[in-house]
C-alpha cells in the first residue's frame, strides 16, 4: 500500500513538474507583456498584492466566523466542530477562487494535519510567535516564491476572544466533555488545545499568482 502510494505520488510530482515548467515560461512572458503594456513596476505589483492579501484574509476570516457562529447556534459546539472538520477548507477554497489565489491557514500547533506549515511558513510563524511574546506590533509579510511568479502573503492569527476557547482552550475548563470527545475522535493528534486569549493560533498563508494581480490592475 505504502509502495503504491509513493509510486503514485512520484508520478504526480513528476507530471506536475513537467507541465509546470512549460506553463511557467508562458506565464512569465504573459506577465512581462502585461507589465509592459500597463507600465507596471514590480513594486506596484507587490503593493497591490499586499492589499489583496489584507482584504482576502479579512473576507476569509469573516466567512469562517459567520459560518462558525451559525453552526454553533444551530448545532451547539460539538456539532460545530464537525462542521469545521468538513467545511473549513472548502470555505477557504471558495473565497480564493474568484481571485485565482490559494488560501490556507498554517499553524505550528495544528489541529488539521493539512495545516502543518511548510519550511517557509514555519519561519514566518516563528517570527510572529516572537512578536506576540514580546508585544511587538504584528505586520503582514509578502514574499516572492516560485521564481517570482507568485507572491506569498502571510498574516498572524491571534486568538481574539473567548469564543475560540470553546474549542481551542483548556480541556475540562473551556472545552467541555462532549466537545473534547468529538475533537479526540476527529483529531487524534490535535495540538490546538490549551490556548489563551492573545496567543498566536496560526497564520494566513495566501499564494497570489502575479498574473492574477496584473490582470486586474
Ligand atoms: C466549534 C469549535 C471551534 C471554534 C469555536 C473555533 N475553532 Fe478553530 N478550529 C476548529 C476545528 C475543528 C479546526 C480544524 C478544521 C479543519 O479540520 O480544517 C480548527 C482550525 C483552526 C485553525 C487552522 C489551524 C489548525 O490548527 O488546523 C485556526 C487558525 C483556527 N482554528 C483559529 C480559530 C480562531 C481564531 C477561533 C475564534 C475566532 C476559532 N478557531 C474558533 C474548531 C473551532
Residue at 9 is within a domain:
no
Give the pLDDT confidence of 42-59 residue by residue, as tens digits: 999 999 999 999 999 999
Residues in the chain: 217
**pLDDT tier, 66 (very low <50, low <70, confident <90, very high otherwise):** very high
Q: Kindly report the three-state secondary structure assignment for every residue of 77-124.
A: HHHHHHHHHHHHHHHHHHHHHHHCCEEEEECCCCCCHHHCCCHHHHHH
Question: Going by C-beta distance under 8 Å and a sequence separation of 6 or more, which residues neighbour residue 197?
Answer: 159, 160, 161, 162, 164, 165
Residue at 31 is within a domain:
no
Question: What residue owns the CA closest to ligand 1's atom 33?
Answer: 164
Give the pLDDT confidence of 103-114 residue by residue, as tens digits: 999 999 999 999
**pLDDT tier, 12 (very low <50, low <70, confident <90, very high otherwise):** very low
84 Cα: distance to centroid of ligand 1 (angstroms): 7
For the cut 90, the answer to whether the pLDDT of residue 3 exceeds it is no
192 Cα: distance to centroid of ligand 1 (angstroms): 8
Residue at 10 is within a domain:
no
For the cut 80, the answer to whether the pLDDT of residue 22 exceeds it is no
Question: Which residue range is the domain that position 87 belongs to?
Answer: 36-215
Residue at 107 is within a domain:
yes
Q: Cβ distance 151 to 62 under 8 Å?
A: no
Residue ranges lining ligand 1, Cβ < 6 Å: 65, 68, 77, 80-81, 84-85, 88-89, 105, 107, 110-112, 115, 157, 159-160, 163-164, 166-168, 192, 201-202
Residue at 26 is within a domain:
no
For the cut 90, the answer to whether the pLDDT of residue 9 exceeds it is no
Of 134, 136, 145, nearest to 102 by C-alpha is 145
Which atom of ligand 1 is found nearest the CA of 158? Answer: 35
- Give the chain's domain count: 1
Residue at 106 is within a domain:
yes
Q: Cβ distance 27 to 113 under 8 Å?
A: no
- Averaged pLDDT for residues 77-94: 97
Residue at 185 is within a domain:
yes
Of 140, 102, 99, 106, nearest to 121 by C-alpha is 106
Residue at 164 is within a domain:
yes
Amino acid at each position: 500500500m505504502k509502495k503504491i502510494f509513493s509510486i503514485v505520488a512520484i508520478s504526480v510530482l513528476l507530471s506536475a513538474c513537467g507541465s509546470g515548467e512549460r506553463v511557467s515560461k508562458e506565464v512569465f512572458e504573459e506577465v512581462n507583456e502585461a507589465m509592459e503594456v500597463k507600465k507596471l513596476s514590480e513594486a506596484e505589483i507587490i503593493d497591490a498584492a499586499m492589499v489583496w492579501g489584507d482584504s482576502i484574509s479579512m473576507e476569509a476570516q469573516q466567512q469562517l466566523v459567520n459560518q462558525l457562529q451559525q453552526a454553533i447556534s444551530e448545532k451547539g459546539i460539538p456539532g460545530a466542530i464537525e462542521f469545521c472538520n468538513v467545511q473549513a477548507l472548502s470555505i477557504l477554497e471558495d473565497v480564493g477562487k474568484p481571485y485565482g489565489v490559494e488560501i490556507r491557514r498554517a499553524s505550528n500547533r495544528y489541529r488539521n494535519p493539512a495545516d502543518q506549515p511548510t519550511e517557509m511558513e514555519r519561519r514566518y510563524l516563528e517570527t510572529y510567535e516572537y512578536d506576540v511574546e514580546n508585544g511587538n506590533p504584528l505586520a503582514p509579510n509578502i514574499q516572492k516564491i516560485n521564481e517570482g511568479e507568485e507572491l506569498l502573503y502571510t498574516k498572524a492569527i491571534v486568538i481574539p476572544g473567548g469564543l475560540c476557547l470553546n474549542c481551542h482552550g483548556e480541556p475540562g475548563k473551556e472545552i467541555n466533555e462532549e466537545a473534547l470527545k468529538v475533537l479526540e475522535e476527529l483529531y487524534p493528534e490535535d495540538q490546538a488545545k490549551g490556548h489563551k486569549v492573545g496567543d498566536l493560533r496560526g497564520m494566513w498563508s495566501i499564494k497570489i499568482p502575479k498574473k492574477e494581480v496584473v490582470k486586474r490592475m
